[in-house]
Amino acid sequence: MSAVTPGRCVKVRVPATSANLGPGFDTLGLALAEYDELTVEALAPGELDIEVEGVGADEVPTDESHLVISTIFYALQQLGFDKPGLRLRANNTIPHGRGLGSSGAAIVAGIVAAAGLVEDQQQVSDDTLLKLATTLEGHPDNVAPCLFGGLTIAWVTASGEPRSKKLMVDRGVSIVVLVPEETMSTSVARSLQPSQVPHADAIFNLSRAALLVAALSQSPELLFESTEDRLHQSYRAAAMPKTKELIDDLRAEGLAAVVSGAGPSVLVLCDDPADRLRAAEIAKSRTDTTWTAYLTAVDIQGATVEEVSKQTVSPSA
Ligand code: HSE
């Protein structure tokens, strides 16, 4: 086993993501320009110092079970490095439990931080980053866009290796995400999925998912038709009725609204930027919960990591 150099310090930025995008269950994902930012410094083994600001600051653990920390330890072990001490400073803006990839972002942050901490000794390939992140997340559709940015198509090879292809999104696509007060557990949402679906529904989703790639990359006028889905949203609707009702309202107005990831947020893909405000107004008019509108954009960079300094930084930095 090798050792991370004490004092090595990296700064990491990871985007929010929206997975599924309607028909692309566990396959399609989009990186969004909302970010968690972290600084991670290697300390002497045994030391641990965690401070979190922003979203979840009062809820996330500040011990080894913190998702970024446990991920760094896992990734370093997989890369053949001993467990170092760590100082973590996190500033979170990605909402938790809302279907915007916060856990995938924490996992990706830990993976790229680990890669950055060992970069002077070992280069880590994109395939390895994706594999480590997918192993922890369970499915690749959030971690792929979080790592690489843009629109990603993710798949798992016959031998179990996750892979992804990144595409750029057409400039004519604009985005609003509507985030409710309520949360939704991904594992609960996944438990509502049937193990088998009718063949006709599989064909329905295949056609829409293929069309959606074309709509997002070159033909935004096809967004509405291409965001139809029969594989997951209807099965989960009873667990998030307010989300279903808002999506029904938005789609009745011709807006391409879908559940973001496992919900309960709503992603609206627009081919006219003015439609974002229209969607936000429709959400505002609902009285069953408060929907916060994020008029956001596609992130094209994905996760970034840079070395800050090889000197020990101040604990208050
Ligand atoms: N594809 C995943 C799901 C995304 O819908 O369960 C949420 O992690």
What is the rounded average pLDDT for all residues in the chain? 96
Q: With a cut of 60, say whether residue 46 has pLDDT above it.
A: yes
Would the annotation count 174 as a binding residue? no
Partners of 90 in the β-ladder: 38, 52
CA nearest ligand 1 atom 3, residue:
262
Q: Where in the chain is the domain with CATH 3.30.230.10?
A: 9-167+299-307
How far, in Å, from the CA of 215 to the mean position of ligand 1?
21
| pTM score | 0.95
User: At a CB cut-off of 8 Å and minimum separation 6, what does 269 contact?
Assistant: 21, 173, 175, 215, 216, 220, 223, 227, 256, 258
Query: Residue 145 and residue 303: Cα distance in Å, rounded?
Result: 9
Query: Residue 106 and residue 223: Cα distance in Å, rounded?
Result: 30
CATH node for 174-296 = 3.30.70.890
| pLDDT attached to residue 310 | 52
Going by their DSSP bridges, the two strands 162-167 and 304-309 should be labelled as unpaired
Section 12-37 average pLDDT: 98
| pLDDT attached to residue 1 | 86
- The tens digit of pLDDT for each residue in 105-154 reads 999 999 999 999 999 899 999 999 999 999 999 999 999 999 999 999 99
Query: Residue 26 and residue 22: Cα distance in Å, rounded?
Result: 10
162-167 contacts: CB < 8 A, separation 24 or more? 162/130, 162/131, 162/134, 163/127, 163/130, 164/130, 164/140, 167/213, 167/216, 167/217
Q: Where in the chain is the domain with CATH 3.30.70.890?
A: 174-296
CA nearest ligand 1 atom 6, residue:
262
| pLDDT attached to residue 316 | 46
Q: With a cut of 90, say whether residue 262 has pLDDT above it.
A: yes
CATH node for 9-167+299-307 = 3.30.230.10
